[in-house]
Copies of this chain bind each other. A is one copy, B any other.
Amino acid sequence: MSADDRAARLALAHLVEPGSRELGLLTRRVGAPEALLMAVHGGVSESLAGAVRARLDAAGLGPHTGSADTWAERIATTLADAMTERAGELGARIVTAADDEWPLALDDLTRISQEGADVLRRDTDPPLCLWLRGPVRLEETMERSVSVVGARAVTSYGQFVASEFAFGLAERGWTVVSGGALGVDVTAHRGALAAGGVTCAVLACGIDQVYPVSNSAVFERIAEEGLLLTEWPPGTRPHKTRFLTRNRVIAAATRGTVMVEAGSRSGARNTLGYARRLQRSPMVVPGPVTSAMSVGCHVELRTPGTVLVTRVEEIVEEIGRVGELAEPIHGDARPEDALDATQSRVLDAVAPRAVRSAEEIAAIAGVAGRDARRSLPVLEQHGFVVRTTGGYRLASRSRP
C-alpha cells in the first residue's frame, strides 16, 4: 500500500465512525484513496456523504475549492499528519491492515459485515486502523489470546472468577483481552498483570481518554506491560453505541470469549454474540441461579453451542492447541472403586458388628453362595472385612 493509501485510511478513520459497512465495501473495491475521494466528493450514500461533511466542517476543512482529487489529497494529508503527530505525542502508534502488526483475525469481521448490518443492527466492518500503546506486538500477542468479559456491576463471586481465570490464563502464556470498564474488565486485567502476563484493553474512545478515571492507574500499567488499543482517533469520547461497536474487535481479535458475569442486559452478551457469529469459542461461566449477575450467563448457556467453563484448563482445552486437554475432574478415589459389581453387593451385605456366615451374606446380597465365598476373601485381603469364628464382619475402618 502506498503512503497515499495509509493517509487515506487514517483520514477515513477520522471522518467515519468505525464499522461502516458501506465504507468497508467501497474501500475493499476501489482502495482507500478512491474511497476517500468518493466520500468527500460523491458516489456514496447521502448518509455517509453527510456524515463525512459534518466531520470535515467540524475539522475546519469546510467546502472545498479546486479539483476533487487535490481536495481529497489535502484532506488525507492534513488529517493523517495531525493524527500521526498526535500519536507521537501520546507515545502511541497507528497500525493499519497494511502493517505487519495487523492481526489478520480482524478481517473475519468482513464476513459477518457482508452478511448484512441488519442482523446485529449495527455496522460490523473491520477497523480501518488501530491506535496502540504498549511494548508488545499486537499480532503476536493476539496469536494466543482470550477475552474475559462481563458486567460492570460484578459481584464478589465474579471478581474472584475473573481474577483467577485471568491470572491462570496469563500464567499459561495467554494474552487476556477485555474492555476498560469497571467490574469484570478491570479485574481481569489486574489478574493478568498479577501473573506477570500480557493484557490488552480495547477501548471505545481515543487512546488519550481515561475512562473510567478510576482505572487510570491500571491503564498506565497496561500501557507499560501490555497493550492499550482503540480504533477511535485521539479526542473521541466513549459513548454507549461505541462500546457495542468496540465489542466486535474484542471478539474477533481473540480465539474465544469468556463471559464471567452478566445481567440480562449486559453488553458482554453482545461480545459473546460476536464471538459466536465469528466462530470463536463462546464460553460462559455459570453462577448461582439466584444471582441477577448470572442471569445473562445462563441465558447464553441455554443457547446451543455455548461452552460452559469452570476452570482455566477447560478454557485452554477449548481454544488451545490440539491435545491441550483439561484433566477430568475425579473425586477422591476410594478403595471400593476397585470392586466389581458382585464384590460390591457382597460388601454391602456384611454387617458392621454382627458376624454373618457366607451363606447369610449371599442371601442378603442376592448372590450365589459360591460368589459370596469367592468375594469374601478378596474383600478380606483388601481390608474391607474381617474373618472371624462363624463368618465375617466389616473391618472397623472400611466404612468411615
**Residues of A that sit less than 8 Å from B by CB:** 16-17, 46-51, 53-55, 57-58, 121-122, 157, 160-161, 237, 239-242, 263-265, 285-290, 294-295, 298-299, 301-302, 307-308, 310-311, 314, 329-332, 341-342, 344-345, 348-349, 359-360, 362-372
Whether A369 pairs with B53 at a CB distance below 8 angstroms is: yes
Contacts of A239 in B (CB 8 A): 345, 348-349
Known A161-B290, A370-B46: A308·B301 in contact at CB below 8 Å: yes
Determine the distance from Cα of A160 to Cα of B291 in the docked complex, in whole angstroms. Answer: 13
Determine the distance from Cα of A263 to Cα of B330 in the docked complex, in whole angstroms. Answer: 10
Contacts of A263 in B (CB 8 A): 331
Whether B308 pairs with A286 at a CB distance below 8 angstroms is: yes
Q: Specify which of B58, B241, B329, B372 is in contact with A54 (CB 8 Å cutoff).
A: B372
Whether A54 pairs with B331 at a CB distance below 8 angstroms is: no
Q: Which residue of B lies closest to A285 (CB)?
A: B289
Whether A370 pairs with B50 at a CB distance below 8 angstroms is: yes
Q: Specify which of B54, B285, B344 is in contact with A363 (CB 8 Å cutoff).
A: B54
Q: Which residue of B lies closest to A336 (CB)?
A: B240
Contacts of A308 in B (CB 8 A): 286, 298, 301-302, 308
Contacts of A341 in B (CB 8 A): 121-122, 241
Whether B265 pairs with A359 at a CB distance below 8 angstroms is: no
Whether B329 pairs with A314 at a CB distance below 8 angstroms is: no
Whether A345 pairs with B49 at a CB distance below 8 angstroms is: no
Whether B367 pairs with A50 at a CB distance below 8 angstroms is: yes
Known A55-B363, A345-B239: A310·B289 in contact at CB below 8 Å: yes
Contacts of A57 in B (CB 8 A): 359, 363
In the assembled complex, how far is the CB of residue A310 from the closest CB belonging to chain B, in whole angstroms?
4
Whether B311 pairs with A289 at a CB distance below 8 angstroms is: yes
Determine the distance from Cα of A58 to Cα of B294 in the docked complex, in whole angstroms. Answer: 57
Which residue among A54, A330, A348, A349 has the maximum number of chain B CB atoms within 10 Å of its CB? A54
Whether A359 pairs with B54 at a CB distance below 8 angstroms is: yes
Which residue among A49, A160, A310 has the maximum number of chain B CB atoms within 10 Å of its CB? A310
Known A51-B362, A363-B55, A368-B49: A314·B286 in contact at CB below 8 Å: no
Contacts of A342 in B (CB 8 A): 47
Whether A288 pairs with B287 at a CB distance below 8 angstroms is: yes
Whether A348 pairs with B242 at a CB distance below 8 angstroms is: yes
Contacts of A121 in B (CB 8 A): 341
Further pairs besides A47-B368, A55-B363: 16, Cβ < 8 Å = A47-B371, A49-B368, A50-B362, A51-B362, A51-B368, A121-B341, A157-B288, A160-B290, A237-B364, A239-B348, A286-B287, A286-B288, A286-B301, A286-B308, A298-B310, A302-B308
In the assembled complex, how far is the CB of residue A39 from the closest CB belonging to chain B, in whole angstroms?
12
